[in-house]
């Protein structure tokens, strides 16, 4: 069957229109916008300052009944608020008495802190309750637990007055450790969180 000339022209025009659409030659109203955003993670940093350096209080030796200052301050030097936990250990090369530890850490009034004696009885570990510190950016008392960026720990290092002769010439070593975690969004960790701290 032969097509009429008018039918051929119409079909050709339709084909050209289809090619135009597929080829993108038709114009539309368009628009575009974008916005780049960024967020910097806050810093969590602290330091131990003004720590006691001489447990003999200048005497070079310690005697049964002596009680000398053991103090240190923790400063939050970062942007974020934090919870800090201080842990102090007292070690000796021989076993401590289970009842009255020959070397110990006490309050300024002389009451020994709650310590845990190791299985070999040569190490006493004192774990202090958490303290909240504000950061340079996060310092809302409700959200961050504090507006203070420093905390001073004030204790005594003592030798028990009833220490026996076997403790003559014995050296005791004290180690201060402070662990820190962000205060915000960590309440679910409870008080046993030291194991998550990365030691640098």
pLDDT of residue 191: 84
Q: Tell me the DSSP string of the chain.
A: -PPPHHHHHHHHHHHHHHHHHHHT-S-------------PPPP--EEEES----TTTTSSS--TT-EEEEEEEEEE-SSS-EEEEEEEEEE-SSPPPSSS-SEEEE-TTSPBP-EEE-TTSSEEEEEPPPEEE--SS---HHHHS-S-SEEEEEEEEEE-TT--GGGTT---EEEEEEEEEESTT-GGG-S--GGGPPP-
In order of start, what are the domains of the chain with their CATH numbers? 46-194 (2.60.40)
Q: Which segments in the chain show pLDDT lower than 70? A: 1-25, 200
The per-residue pLDDT for range 47-63, each reduced to its tens digit, is 999 999 999 999 999 99
pLDDT of residue 4: 59
pLDDT of residue 14: 57
């Amino acid at each position: 069957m032969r097509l009429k000339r008018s039918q051929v022209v119409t079909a050709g025009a339709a084909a050209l229109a289809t090619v135009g659409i597929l080829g993108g030659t038709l114009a539309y109203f368009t628009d575009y916008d974008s916005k780049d955003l960024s967020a910097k993670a806050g810093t969590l940093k602290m330091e131990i300052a003004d720590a006691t350096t001489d447990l003999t209080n200048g005497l070079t030796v310690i005697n049964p009944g002596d009680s000398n200052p053991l103090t240190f301050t923790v400063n939050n030097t970062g942007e974020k608020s934090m919870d800090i936990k201080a842990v102090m250990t007292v070690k000796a090369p021989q076993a401590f008495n289970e009842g009255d530890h020959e070397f110990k850490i006490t309050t300024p009034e002389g009451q020994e802190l709650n310590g845990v004696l190791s299985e070999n009885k040569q190490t006493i570990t004192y774990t202090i309750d958490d303290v909240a510190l504000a950061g340079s950016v996060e310092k809302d008392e409700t959200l961050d637990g504090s507006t203070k960026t420093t905390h001073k720990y004030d204790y005594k290092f003592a030798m028990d007055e009833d220490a026996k002769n076997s403790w003559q010439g014995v050296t005791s070593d004290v180690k201060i450790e402070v662990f820190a975690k962000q205060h915000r969004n960590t309440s679910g960790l409870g008080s046993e969180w030291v194991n998550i701290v990365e030691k640098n």
